[in-house]
Structure 1
Amino acid sequence: MLNDQLFVFGYRQEFLEQLGAHYAKSPMAAADFVSNLGDVSALSMNHSELVESRFFSDVRKPFGVQDIIWFPALRTGGRMASLHASRSEKIAHYQKREIDLFKLLAPHVCRALAISDALDIRTLKSEMLERTLDALVAGVYLTARDGRVVYMNAAAERQVRTGGSIRLVNNRLSPTDPAARAVLSRAIDQAGRDDTEIDTSAHSLAIPDAGGAGYVATFLPVASGQRRSTVAPFSASCAVFMQDPVQAPLMPGEAFARLHGLTGGELRVLLALAEGLGGKEAADMLGISEPTLRTHLQHMFSKTGTSRQSKLLQLLHNSTPPIRASQLPAPRA
């Protein structure tokens, strides 16, 4: 994940660089995933569990940071933001008075960022839609009424360049398989008709290549209402999505944790194990004991209805979002 400091006061550049490099696995990032907007947290609330973590040894201790207080302030499909403050070793941990003051400040910051984000979305609607489509693992093709391709996202461009299953012929989609070519052509043609009685539901078909692989394509007519207004900048009448069944997207964090009620500590353990670390390696990285890690696992088994680590990781994998790793929204300080 990326971590951009939008406004900074009183921090050394070296500390900010270390914080950015380690932020994705920090207690703040994990808590931001499972906390509600405006919920105030401080590292001192879980000091005993975090004092041996790498975040403590690599970030807090070298720069004399004793405590950090923060709250998540914005969480949308495209961005996350949070507000942080910290204290050096020369000053006591944050106490109830400071936490209460942050709680008073939190709703005003959240409201201001929500208004700002809404204005940005209205101003940059088409640009943000295009960036969102480019983030998808699936190829997205938008076609006009006459069948011409009017837009392809980055994944679609890669699929066409490969040319094993799908190509562009006279600026129209042309599967290499004749049967798939005929079905897709009819579907796009039907979607472009001025006929209010056409079926506007989504349909899927196979787009094979000569080697026995290929894509699964889903085409969705853009008939009227919100669908048409959403793709209006592209003058499209049909959206075609092509997914490589072999290509697996990055594992999620926030949605999975919220769905199953995981705590920040449980989520950090799960994401460490999802990276392929063994129990001892994950415990060392997080600065916790193996019994503590096993306790977190047992709690997650109970919450997710699983009984083994492999089943838990499979459940996480089945919740993968269809986006590329470089496009995931990132916590911000």
Structure 2
Amino acid sequence: MADINTVGDRFADAPGRIGAVLEKLYGSLIEPGERRAGLDALRRLFDVDQLAVVCRSAEAPTQVSANLISDDTPRPEYEKHYVKSFCAVDPFVNLPVDRPLMVQEVMEERSWESHEFVQRFLRPMNVFHVLGADILTEPGTIYGVRLCRSRHAPRFSEDDRALFRKMLPHLRRFGQVHARLGRARMLEHVLNTLTEGVKLGAIILDSHSKVVHSAGLADMRLAERQDFYLSSGRLRASSRSNDQKLQRMLQLASSLADDGIEGESQAARFESSGGSLGITLRNLPLPAALDENAQTGTMVVFRDLDSETEISEANLIRLFGFTVAEARVARLLAQGLTIDEAAKRLAVSRNTLRTHLRALFLKSGTTRQSELMRTLVSSSTVFC
């Protein structure tokens, strides 16, 4: 086996080149739009025509969640074709973990050349020689990395294999960080969507009471210094009385955290020129990514108490099976209108509206108007 530290003249400057490639590769994690640039740098390091990364289930190889191809010519249509049709017939899968293999070590070259996967998928991309490795990035998740060359290009050598093996730990770490960042971005998107839908603001403070994340109405209010602002990274309320109340709540949260008490909530009502805000503070453990000592932080959630709850009639119809007329009545009642006010708004009689109300009780599984209102308002978060 070749010495991975002296893998031939072509790789004499490999350490310096690897450092530059890793900088590009890990930098692409921070800027998702640069992901292909990172793979392109990796492709040039290996001196191959194409480089493919396939994320698949370890238990079911045909369950592919992502496929990226680095090429001088972008090939998004081939990425989609692989996931949709060709992953099921790819014979170069289920490789031993962390062991770079050439395709000729898995099957005879004649069988490879005549295989449907090569004929219909690889040949149109001018690919024949493949060196691949399967990397277990997380339990149940395989990153399949495939280095590809045309038939007329040099076959992969032991030097190529040695360099590939040297890069495997970095590629594994890249896959792990990529997966975790993907989940974090997904959760952030979900949080932003939820807080916007129900008119909530959320702010996460670290163990030093400094803001590490904000979402929903909080972003806008902090940017406009409306009710809240940042001072040296710390959360402050705009009015003196509200700020005194907020700082007392934060001090209590800090004391509870020092005593090892998590999950305790505090609530208060803040009055301002813009209306009333309901404020809730809750201690929660922070991951190391937000607080390097992984200590307890604080989540501050607030809601505009004077704003009307937005309820979609279309969503009420889908969720409860209301008719169009019933959904209109439900939306008006949820906004706080009385039966008489709703009847007047809809230009119907009081008796007609009461008929609709009985249908609302039946379809929502409620028996009292107050119970119906709670159900309708709660349902607004389902489709926010």
Structure with more relative contact order (C-alpha pairs < 8 Å, separation 6 or more):
1
* Higher fraction of strand: 2
TM-score (norm 1): 0.43
Query: Which has the higher Rg, Structure 1 or Structure 2?
Result: 2
TM-score (norm 2): 0.38
